[in-house]
Structure 1
Amino acid sequence: MTARALNSWPQSIIDKIETLSARQDALRAETQLAQTREALTRSRLGEALIVALVARAKAEAEARSVAGRAYRATGLARATPDRRNRLRRLVERLQDRRGPKGQATILAASGLWAGAGGASDLADMEAYAARGADPAAQPPAFFDQAWYLDRYPDVAASGQSPLVHYLLRGGLEGRVPHPLFDHGPYLGQHAPEMGALGLTALEHFIRLGGPRGAAIHPLFQLDHYLIQAPELFETGEIPFLHYLREGAARGLNPHPLFLTDYYRAQAGLGPGDEPLLHYLTQGSAAGLRPHPLFDPAWYRDAYPDVPAAGLDPLVHFVLDRGEGGFSPGPWLDARTYFARRGSDRLPGLDALSDYLQGGAWTVGEPSPGFQAAAYLAAHPELAAEGLTPLERWARLGVAS
C-alpha cells in the first residue's frame, strides 16, 4: 500500500502505522542533521575560543613583561643610596651607649622605619628602643620582632632591641630579619655592593634592591604582582612591602602558583593573617594547597628527597624551573605535558606555570586521559571565569 503524505490524516490503522513510521524516520533524519550541525558549530566555536584564549594568554604575558621591565628601568629614580663606613659605625657604637635616645638616631638613619614621618617618628623610635627585647614591640619595618627573638635566643638574653641589634651586629653576622626574606640568595646576588657600601641585607633591600625590583622570595614574582597593583608605578612603594601591608588583604596574588583567596579559604584565615607566611610555616606541612593544581602532600610523597633537603615543595618546584620534570600533583604529569608542549614551551618555567600561561590552550591532552578541547567545549564558561580546564577539574574534584 502506498503511504499517504505526511500531512494527511490516515483512514486506517495500517495507514496510521505507515504514516507514524515515516514521520519517525523523518524526525530521526532531522535530529541527526541538527546534531551534526550543532557538533560542527560547537567545534568551530571551540576552535575560535581557543584561538582567543591563546591570544589572551600572550597579551597577559606581554603585559607582565612590560610592567616588570618598566619598573626595573625606573628603579634608580626610586633608590636612596647610603653608605656606612668605619667612621659611621664608630659613631653608631657611641650612640648605642646613650641608650634609647641614641638608638633612635641609629634607627632613623637606617631608613628602615616606615612611620608617619616627622618628629613623632623619632619619639616612636625611642619608645621602641626603650622596650628592649619585647616580642610584642613590633616596629613599622620589614622586620619580624617576635620571630627574630625566637630564632636568636642570645638576642633575647641580651635585652637589646632586636632591630637595633640587627643594624649593629645581626646583619653583619648574616642573621635573617624576616621569615619571608630569602636571605641566602639575596646575599649571593648583592654581596659585592653590600660590602662596598657597608649595608646590611635589609638596608640594601629597602634602599636599593627593592626599588630596583630585586627578587626577595621565590614565591613573590614581581611582574605578576605589578599588573595587579599598577598604582605602585605612581606611589613608588616596594611591591613586596605593599603585598605585606595591604596586597594580601586585598586578595592580590604574590605568585601565579599562590592564590591568596583560595588559600585563605582553606586555612580559615582572617583579614589580618598573612597567607603566604602561614602557608610556609604551617599550611604546607598540613597539606593545604596554594593552588588547585599544586598538592604539597602529594609532592612530598612523590619526591621524598625534597623534604630531606629542607625545601618547601612549592619553593622546590618553582626553583627547579621544570628541569627535573617534577609534577605539581596528580592532575598534571610534567614529562607528558612537556613532551606534548614541544617547542612552544616557555623557557625557565615549571610545567604548571607554563600550563597556566598558555599551554592550557595549545596542549590537547595535558594529562593522560584528559581531553582539554572536549572539556572546554562542555564548559565554555571557563573563558569568562578565567580558569583553565585542569584547574576547574581540580577545584571540583570531578572530571565532569
Structure 2
Amino acid sequence: MSPRSLPASAWIGLLLRRGLFLLIGGIVAVPYVMLVFWVGQVFSAPEIGPATYVLTLAIALAGILIPGSVSVLRALERTAVRDLLGVDIAEPVARTSASDVMRGGVWFYLHVVCGALFLFVLAFALPTAIAALLGLFPFAPNSATEISRVVFPGLSTGEGMVLTLLITTIAIALLVVVFWLLPRGAMPLLGPSAANRVLAAERETAELARRNQLARELHDSVGHALTITTLQAAAAQRMLASNPEGAERALLAIEETGRSALSDLDYALGILRAEPKRDDVADRRSPQLTLRALDRLLADTRSAGLRIDDDVDPGIAELPGAMSREAYRIVQESLTNILRHAGAVAAAVRIAIADEALRIEISNPMPVLLAPGEGDPPGRSLRRSGGRGLPGLAERVAVLGGSLQAGEVDGTWRVAVVLPMKGLL
C-alpha cells in the first residue's frame, strides 16, 4: 500500500516510526558533534605542535570511520530499517565483502546526518522560529530581540528574524525530503550485493532441488510400496477363507514391502534433514536400489497381480550407479502407475542398451472404457488424473539429459525413455 492511500491513523503511525528512526540517528550524532567541537578546540589552542595535530586527526578519523565498518551496527541498521521504515531487507547469505562494508558505512553516516538534521529542527530551529514569530505580536515584544542578540550577534532584529525563519524553512523542507526518500535508499545501501543475490539464488535452487528429490523419493518408493501393499491386502482378504496359503503369501509380501518402504522412508528423511553425506552414513542410510534389483521389483509387482512380459539387456548390470538408480526409479514408477490406474493387466517391460543410450519402454493395454454412469474407468483416470507420476519421471529423465515420451498409441499406454550413455561405458 502506498503512503498516499493510508488512512489517517496509519499516517500518524508512519510518521512516528520514521521520526523515531531519525531520533535514533540524532542521538548517535551527538558524540560526533562533541568530537567536532573537541577537534576545533584543540586546533584553536595556542602553541600546538605537529604531533598533537596528527594525533588529534587520527583520533577524530578513527572515531568517525570505524563505527561505519562494524558488522554489528550494519545488522542493527537493517533491523531498524525493517521495523521502523518498513523496508524488507534480506540478511546477507555470504561473508561480508568490502563493497558491503562501504555501502553499509554510507548508510550509517547518512542515518547520522539525517538524524542530526531532525534534532536540529526539533530542538533548535523550530522553537527558535516560533519564538521569532511571537516577536511580531505585542504580547511578546522582546522575543525577537533576544533571539537576534543570542543567535545572530551583530545583526539587527529584523535581519536575525528573517535569517531564523529562512534557516528553519530550509531545514524543515530538507527534513520532509528525508522523511520520504530515506526508505528508498535503504535497499541499495543495506541490501545484499549482486554476488550475494546470486549466491542466495543458487542456495534457493539447491534447496528446491533437494525438496524435489525428496518428493520424488517419497512418491516413487513409498508410493510404490503403498500401492503394492494395498493390492496385496485386498488379495489376502479375498483368499482368507478359500485359500489360506495364498492369503499367507500375500501377507508375507506386505511385510517385505513394508520393510523396504521403511528403508526408503529413512533415506528420504535423511534427505529432508540434510544430514552430512559421509561415506559411512550414506552407505548405511541410502537404499542404493539400482537395476540390479530389477528382478525383485518385477517379482513384487507380479505378486500384486500385474502380468509382466520382460525383455532386459544383461548389460544393465554394468551401468554407472547414478544412471542405474534413476532408471530403477523410472521403471518402478511406471509399474506403479499401471497398478494404480489400470489395475491387474498385462504389461511389457523392455530395457536395452543401443546406440550409446539406455532405452526403457513400458507399455500396457488401455482398459475398456465403461459406459456413462458406470464409474470412472482406470484408463480415463490415467490420462486426466493430474498426479505427480509423470512430472516426477520427467524430472528424473531431465537430470540425466534424456528424453521421455508418454501417451496412448493405438489403445496402448506407452512410456518410452532414452538416457544418453556416450562416454559412460
TM-score band w.r.t. shorter chain: under 0.3
Tell me the TM-score normalized by structure 1. 0.23
Q: Between Structure 1 and Structure 2, whose CA radius of gyration is higher?
A: 2
TM-score (norm 2): 0.22
Whose helix proportion is higher, 1 or 2? 2
- Larger strand proportion of the pair: 2
Which structure has more relative contact order (CA 8 Å, sep 6+)? It is: 1
